[in-house]
């Protein structure tokens, strides 16, 4: 597996080695040693999966008291996946990293604890599967406004208005959001 840093060094892109032939393919999607070799000492405790239609924008979500690290991959379709650094002591505080994840490219994005996470569906539909380092606690969920000018996320143009939940439409501006110390 090839592991590379994004513009935010802690946000990693995992590209699996694909072993394919006329029958199909095989790939390893997770190996703890890859995390350990990169100084990441996390245990995954929960797997989540979502299916969304084209134009769905979910996020930018984060947990303040029980932050989740997430290893995200797409098993059907294509998304633009985003991580925003909310660690106030970080040199990349307020910056974002974004990657196209798809069933075709089979890439995975590591979003560390202390980051907000969101994605935009680029294909007709997409299935996102992600492993989490802590349990989801609804009372600890926070959201940043996806189109906040202070974040200036370069969401891809997809020819339709994003479909956004009511909760995400009411998300906080980055300038007034609670962040990690």
Residue 95 resides in a domain: yes
What is the model's pTM? 0.92
Residue 97 resides in a domain: yes
State yes or no: pLDDT of 100 exceeds 90.
yes
The predicted pLDDT at position 38 comes to 79
Tokens of 147: 């189109």
Residue 30 resides in a domain: yes
Based on the residue annotation, tell me whether 180 is a catalytic residue of this protein. no
DSSP for 85-132 reads: E-BTTSTTTT-EEEEEEETTT--EEEE-TTEEEEEEE-SSEEEEEEEE
The predicted pLDDT at position 76 comes to 98
CATH code, 12: 2.60.120.10
The predicted pLDDT at position 30 comes to 81
DSSP for 37-66 reads: HTT------EEEEEEEETTBEEEEEEESSS
Residue 181 resides in a domain: no
Give the pLDDT mean for 73-95: 97
Residue 94 resides in a domain: yes
Give the pLDDT mean for 87-105: 97
Residue 110 resides in a domain: yes
pLDDT in tens, 126-180: 999 999 999 999 999 999 999 999 999 999 999 999 999 999 999 999 999 999 8
Number of domains making up the chain = 1
Residue 175 has phi, psi (to 5 degrees) of -65, -25
Active-site residue (options: 19, 62, 130, 142): 130
pLDDT in tens, 19-64: 888 988 887 888 788 878 878 888 999 999 999 999 999 999 999 9
Residue 105 resides in a domain: yes
More reliable by pLDDT, 17 or 105: 105
Based on the residue annotation, tell me whether 66 is a catalytic residue of this protein. no
Q: Which domain holds residue 168?
A: 2-176
């Amino acid at each position: 597996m090839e592991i590379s840093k994004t513009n935010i060094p802690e946000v990693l892109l995992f590209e699996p080695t694909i072993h394919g032939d006329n029958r199909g393919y095989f790939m390893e999607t997770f190996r703890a040693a890859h995390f350990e070799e990169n100084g990441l000492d996390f245990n995954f405790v929960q797997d989540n999966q979502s299916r969304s239609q084209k134009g769905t924008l979910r996020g930018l979500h984060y947990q303040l008291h029980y932050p989740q690290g997430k290893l995200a991959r797409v098993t059907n379709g294509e998304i633009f996946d985003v991580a925003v650094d909310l660690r106030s002591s970080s040199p990349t505080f307020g910056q974002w990293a974004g990657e196209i994840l798809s069933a075709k490219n089979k890439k995975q994005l590591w979003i560390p604890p202390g980051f907000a996470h969101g994605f935009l569906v680029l294909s007709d539909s997409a299935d996102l599967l992600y492993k989490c380092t802590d349990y989801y606690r609804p009372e600890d969920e926070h959201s940043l406004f996806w189109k906040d000018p202070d974040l200036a996320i370069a969401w891809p143009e997809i020819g339709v208005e994003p479909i956004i939940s009511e909760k995400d439409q009411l998300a906080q501006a980055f300038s007034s959001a609670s962040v990690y110390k």
